[in-house]
Structure 1
Amino acid sequence: MQIAMLIVGTRGDVQPFIAIGKRLQDYGHRVRLATHANFKDFVMTTGLEFYPLVGDPKILAGYMVKNKGFLPATPSEIPIQRKQIRDAIIANPAAHGHVHVAEALNIPIHIIFTMLWTPTCEFPHPFSHVKQPAGYRLSYQSVDSFVWLGIRDMINDLRKRKLKLRPVTYLSDWGPKIDVVGFCFLDLASNYEPPEPPLRWLGSGDSPIYIGFGSLPIPEPDKLTRIIVQALEITGQRGIINKGWGRLRNLEESKEFVYVLDNVPHDWLFLQCKAVVHHGGAGTTAAGLKAGVKEQAVELAKAIESEDGVDGAVKSFLKHLPQKRDSEKMPTAPQSTFMQPLLLPVKRCFGMAS
């Protein structure tokens, strides 16, 4: 098969799909990952094909920090985000054109995300402001409806002008099944050769605390850097500060107990640390749990070791393909040593279906 994967978001959104794409490529399929130009080198060094999408993920991240989710704080925010999504085409929930192009081409679509996107009473929608459990399930419909109201004219213009499809009045459910397969980790540590300076610093004392905020924009990076350094000094800890998109600064005055670095594979770095302080992004959270950093994470790390989310995602993709016609044989995944996949059918909502 020729498989196009369209991913909108930050590095934490893109990285798991690289892992899925590489596994599909191993099975003999041709995989092209369409995402923001910021990630071109990252994608191409993994051996996948790349196609650029318009839109800047840093603008999206800044918008979500400012508004604490998808819902805008003021109406003036809506036109800015409309410009960011006008050319979105096909396969995580934030790329709003996927289902329509798939309909026009009459091809299967499989939508995957790193966070819960299915209505439930257990948790609120990840991009909602809902705090009370009574509103958790309703929060999914609320976010869905609000986003749809903001972009429905653009979607229907795309359907009529470009895709020659009838307009739709609402984005209704697209299918009956959801598979929860575990996080899709991309192994970067095994091929990573750390530079000598951080290795020398790591070996010069106790295990440090990692502090980083990934793709989270920081309004006052200089001030936050000073606060972090002061906290480490007061508590007598060594710390690694990851600059990230927040632009945390190099120190004006060198401190022996602080090391500032740029991007380093989390699956290597977190194993060198005693604790991880971060922004709560899906990828960083998963990497911290897998590393078993802090005593409370050890049991979760053991459970994660028994999962293969990449294998589960690929099997889910193949399982939900349309039934084969008599003259065709649909591709399947080879047998693997995947240990007890976590496949939980739950009710369908907009944004996650095959």
Structure 2
Amino acid sequence: MTPSDREATGLLTRPDDLVRLLDQSGVRHASPEFDPWVADVDLDALIRLHRDMVVVRRLDSEATALQRQGELGLWPPLAGQEAAQIGSARALHDDDFVFSSYREHAIAWMRGVRPDELLSVWRGSAASGWDPYARRMAIPQIIIGAQTLHAVGWAMGARWEGTTSASIAYFGDGATSEGDVNEALVFASSFDAPVVFFCQNNGWAISEPVGLQSKQPLARRADGFGMPGIRVDGNDVLAVLAVTRWALERARRGEGPTFIEAVTYRMGPHTTADDPKRYRSDDDLAAWRERDPITRLHAHLAASGADIDAVDADVKEAADRAAAELRAGLTAIADPEPMSVFEHVYAEPNSHVERQKERFARYLAMFGDEDGGTA
């Protein structure tokens, strides 16, 4: 079967194969199927990808530290998943729409979300962080897997309107056990929705290993829904970029949805309220540290003739600047007025909400805060 035949039948690669262009040591390997999708990625573009990953890892470590310092109520770290998020984000067009879970901070950063917008929810200062229409990215979904249904609905609407835009839904391996995700796959397949399902298989659904959820690679589930499923090395930013571009192009051509399983690893806890040492071994973590996506691309840049000292200096400056912006953005977040919690609950006046509002105002008045201001 030729590559074109395999693409036409949705069998571009078997889901138990792992698409990889950069190996663990940063060595570039040829791929007749996927090299064309990254033919435009020159050395400068690789340096930018490296910078993106280093910056978002720094932002993630800063936010984790801010939570430990009591400035944030909670934070879900993304360390280890930078390549999966940056590679796929770089494949998106400006008019595409992102529907994410709560860990896709790198995606948000790449879509132009400001630091204060990124942190306000986790600080408890707002019910949502940013204008989804301005950023072309929905507010992160806390309910596991619900965003996949939203992505399919948006994609169906985009197709009916005759646009070439596509949506992408990000979720973890644990979400594949949820009914919402499976229902979304049914609808997407039935209506040939231009949507990409991007599963970041980071090995753990909180404390449950992925092997307890599925006896087969998660991408194989796509077969039952009549769509191509493909596995990619989620720590290889170049391969992720290629695979996501391919899947999005299928969607734009009207060929329907694709399921991508990016095999990666959550280096830190599920959230800052979690202790991963209770359920995984140090040896397991050490093995995955050797597959670090940033170290891998850095090695490839050094071997490709990049001025690595200049690259490192530029990346450090960018990361320091982003970290400073993050902390400055945090201090700029204003505490909300207590009564504002009732705003935007319903589009129209609602008597139930009005009763709660009245009772809460009386409660605040007990503390000498009759005007509903900050006590």
TM-score, structure 1 as length reference: 0.28
More contact order relative to length (CA 8 Å, sep ≥ 6): 2
The structure with the greater share of residues assigned to helix is: 2
TM-score, structure 2 as length reference: 0.27
